[in-house]
Amino acid sequence: MISMEKRLNDLVARLSNGQLDRREFLTRMALIPGGVAAAAAVLPMLPAETAHAQFGPPPFSPAEGERRHARIRAMMADKGLDCMIIPHRAGDGVNLLQYANYVSGGGFFIFGDGAVVFPLEGDPIAVANRFPSPWISRSKPVVFEDGVQVPMGHQIVEAVEELGLENSTIGVVGTVTGSEGLNEFINDGLVTYSTWAAVVAGLPNAEFVDISGDFGVLMAVKSEEEITACVNAALIGEGLHEMMIETTHVGMDTGELRENVALHLLRNGATADVQAAFFPPGPIPDGYVFNSEYGIIHDGGYCQVTLCMVVGAMSARMEALTEVAHELMDYGAEHLCAGKRFGDLMEEMEGIS
């Protein structure tokens, strides 16, 4: 009998080799116990060439890359920076919004380390990228010595030296705590100690300036391409919650509900970093209240969607709370605009409630 692990590995290999398309891969994975969860884990880790063949080109255009690079260089000039060190996995953990991917357009392994060394003038260098980066032609790939990966910090130093900027003022992202612009759950300095220690030791004449907050604000200003990608992610999230409303019923096993959620994301080519939905094991009782929040990642876009749903009969108290929630959401959508502070808006909404 063929083991389950071998069946999973065979399907992944056939997808990577182009012998299966995405739809057939998902269909076959769904027939294997645990296959849905395995597919959700595998798809984001496909090599760039496989992802391109199966899911199309990178989500953002070369023009979007040029726009981002121009805005970054304008900020650098304003702050007197000659160079920037922009690490991977130092953003929100969001598809192509992690800082290095934001600059490179992709190319970094989802769980791996990496960085972009970005000069004020000249070509940037991708460090430890696993796949080709759409917007950066120069790279220093991962290096192994005697089977052990060379620490990334040393490669960052080499990239800075290649650019002739070892004595310059260098902006860095992710080296301080309490910086605005980072995810509140991981806002404690995001560059590993070994990497940063190697950079500081290898560039003793450089001046480092952490600009995590400024870079976070820069990323928050979206282009039309980015807004479109976020809207598409939101539509998938809305579809997810519509599916939950339509299919969830009293007596339904929550395992089936989890499977429905996973399949919806897979069929739409999406993943989720935030999955704040508590589904207790067993059948769903009458009157049970679900609070669901998902952070949808799709094709370069990101959106968080929330849902509060009562299964079966709704109590009078829940009906009253629902009316208040709708009133507050309508008020927020109407009054949120450029230049408005979230804190001020929250005070106004608290006055309503």
Bridge partners (DSSP) listed for residue 304 = 295
The yes/no answer on whether domain 224-352 falls in CATH 1.10.10.10 is: no
80-100 residue pLDDT tens: 999 999 988 654 444 334 678
Name the residue type at position 85: I
Quick one: tokens of 175?
A: 């080296």
What number of other Cβ atoms are within 10 A of residue 291's Cβ? 11
Query: What confidence score (pLDDT) does residue 37 get?
Result: 59
CA angle 270, 273, 277 (to 5 degrees): 100
Rounded Cα distance between 76 and 83, Å, is 8
Residues of the chain with CATH 3.40.350.10: 62-220
Query: What confidence score (pLDDT) does residue 91 get?
Result: 46
DSSP track, 59-72: SS-HHHHHHHHHHH
323-339 residue pLDDT tens: 998 899 899 989 988 88
Query: What confidence score (pLDDT) does residue 234 get?
Result: 95
Query: What confidence score (pLDDT) does residue 93 get?
Result: 46
Query: What confidence score (pLDDT) does residue 177 get?
Result: 64
Rounded Cα distance between 98 and 108, Å, is 10
Q: Residues 32, 7: contact at Cβ < 8 Å?
A: yes
Query: What confidence score (pLDDT) does residue 96 get?
Result: 39
Query: What confidence score (pLDDT) does residue 168 get?
Result: 97
Name the residue type at position 246: E
Strands (E), 31-168: 83-87, 115-119, 125-127, 138-140, 144-145, 148-149
From edge to edge, which strands make up the β-sheet containing 271-277? Answer: 271-277, 288-298, 301-311
Query: What confidence score (pLDDT) does residue 123 get?
Result: 95
| 308 three-state secondary structure | strand
Strands 138-140 and 288-298: unpaired
Query: What confidence score (pLDDT) does residue 51 get?
Result: 47
Predicted confidence pLDDT, tens digits, the chain (353 residues): 455 566 666 776 676 666 666 666 666 666 666 665 566 555 555 554 454 444 456 789 999 999 999 999 999 999 999 999 998 865 444 433 467 888 998 887 666 678 999 999 999 999 988 778 899 999 988 777 777 777 789 999 999 999 999 999 999 987 876 655 445 545 555 677 888 899 999 999 999 999 888 888 898 889 999 999 999 999 999 999 999 999 999 999 998 998 899 899 988 988 887 888 877 889 999 999 988 999 998 888 889 999 999 999 999 998 999 899 889 989 998 998 888 888 899 899 988 86
H or E, element range at 81: none
Quick one: tokens of 33?
A: 């116990």
Rounded Cα distance between 4 and 34, Å, is 9
Query: What confidence score (pLDDT) does residue 5 get?
Result: 61
Query: What confidence score (pLDDT) does residue 101 get?
Result: 84
Rounded Cα distance between 56 and 61, Å, is 12
What number of other Cβ atoms are within 10 A of residue 339's Cβ? 4
- Which of 127, 135, 175, 118 lies closest to 152 in space, CA to CA? 127
Residues of the chain with CATH 3.90.230.10: 224-352
Fold designation for 62-220? Creatine Amidinohydrolase; Chain A, domain 1 (3.40.350)
- Within 13 Å, how many C-alpha atoms sit on residue 193's CB side? 0
What number of other Cβ atoms are within 10 A of residue 260's Cβ? 18
User: CA of 300: how far to CAs of 99, 222, 341, in Å?
Assistant: 13, 12, 27
Strands 301-311 and 138-140: unpaired
